[in-house]
Structure 1
Amino acid sequence: MTSRTTQTVVSFSSVFLLPGFDAPQPAGDYRVDHDEESIEGLSRIAWHRVGTFIHLPGIGQQGATHQMVPINPADLDAALEKDHKQS
């Protein structure tokens, strides 16, 4: 089975908190990795997401440690939608 990771950058204009986070995160840009595995069919290859991770701290922010935290993509989408409504 083949796997791949796609990377995106998401932007928050205000402080945000996702389920499972120890503390709110500051506004800024954050790298998000989506891990996927291939599903091979008869005529084409499809991809199935098996994990989504956000990198903390955000891009350009200083922190004592850097970590990849697993997140639910639906929670991320909801937080981004809430952030965009506030700005």
Structure 2
Amino acid sequence: MTTRSTRSVVTFSRPFRIAGYEDDLPAGQYEMVVDEDLLEGVSFESYRRTATYLLIGGPAGGLGVAEMRPVDPRDMDAALARDQAEPAAP
């Protein structure tokens, strides 16, 4: 089976928490990695998401040590929505 990984950067403007983890994470940019598997036996190219990870500790797109935390995409979307819904700190 063919697997592809896509990377993107998400930005939080204030400290946040992801469901399933006890620690609060500081505001900033975080790299997100999504793994997908190619669906075989269909007449068009299609992928199914198999894993989502948030990189903690290393600068987004830079060098350094980072922890890859598996996250539920729905929890990630909820954290981003909470961050955008709260008024910005003065």
TM-score norm. by structure 2 comes to 0.84
Shift of 1:21: 1.8
Aligned twin of 1:19: 19
Q: Could you tell me the percent identity over the aligned residues?
A: 37
Q: Deviations over 1:11-57 (max 9, x none)?
A: 00000001122310000000000000000244211000000000002
Taking the aligned partners of 1:41 and 1:14, their CA distance within structure 2 comes to 44
Moved over 4 A (4+): none
| Structure 2 unpaired stretches of 5+ | none
Counterpart of 1:49 in structure 2 is 49
Look up the SS of the partner of 2:19 in the other structure.
coil
Cα distance change, pair 42–52 in 1 and its aligned pair in 2 (3 A): closer
Match of 1:6 in 2: 6
Number of matched residues?
84
Which is richer in strand? 1
Contact map agreement 1:9 1:29 (CA 8 A) in 2: yes
Kindly indicate whether the alpha-carbon contact (under 8 Å) linking 2:56 and 2:66 is maintained by their aligned counterparts in 1: yes
Give structure 1 stretches of 5+ with no counterpart: none
Partners of 1:31 and 1:55 within 8 A in 2: yes
